[in-house]
Amino acid sequence: IPGTLVRLVDMPKMDRSELYLSLSSEAERFKAFDDCEALVDFHAIGPTPNQPNQQRLVFTAIRKDTLAQYQRALQLAKLKADAIDIEELNVLRAMAGTGVLDSLFEQIGQDAYWGSLFVDCDRVRFLVFQGTELVELRETQMSSEALMAAGPDSIVTDDLLEEVRRTMQAAATPPVVWLTHHLPPILVQI
């Protein structure tokens, strides 16, 4: 399912229960969580560069009422879910599990920078990796309807390209390839 919030954050080293509490408080500061509890999860991706008492996390959150709606839909469809996960992270896991990433690394090199763009219903998430290490994660508000209607000379296309440029600045060298998910074909070409 689409995450309400997906961020790359640096946090002090602490135990998991303290991290959940701290990240829940952080998520609930965002307007998207007004009047609703934030359900959070995270994955540690390593130490923060040059800060030994810090750790870098991929942090995700979803509104509790939104998750309840997905669970209700599954129940009505008489489907039993083994897990519910954030779409962007699941797509990347699937790419790793099916050998797509191995094939990519054979072509571009194990330490090359590469990026991915994930289009959600109301936002685009930009991720930059060096090999398998996540280097940057950004998002911008942009409706999928506006992206579908965008052409070569539209302001939406210009905004998307500017966000790609900003995201690329996190890499020591520009990403060699961008993988896309739900991006309209005309924008993939541009």
pLDDT higher than threshold 90 for residue 74 = yes
Confidence of residue 173 (pLDDT cuts 50, 70, 90): confident
Q: What SS3 state is found at 172?
A: coil
pLDDT at residue 101, rounded to an integer: 86
Confidence of residue 50 (pLDDT cuts 50, 70, 90): confident
pLDDT at residue 154, rounded to an integer: 92
pLDDT higher than threshold 90 for residue 169 = no
pLDDT at residue 134, rounded to an integer: 84
pLDDT at residue 106, rounded to an integer: 92
Contacts of residue 117, defined as CB under 8 A and 6 or more positions apart, other chains included, come to 124, 125, 126, 164, 178, 179, 180, 181, 183
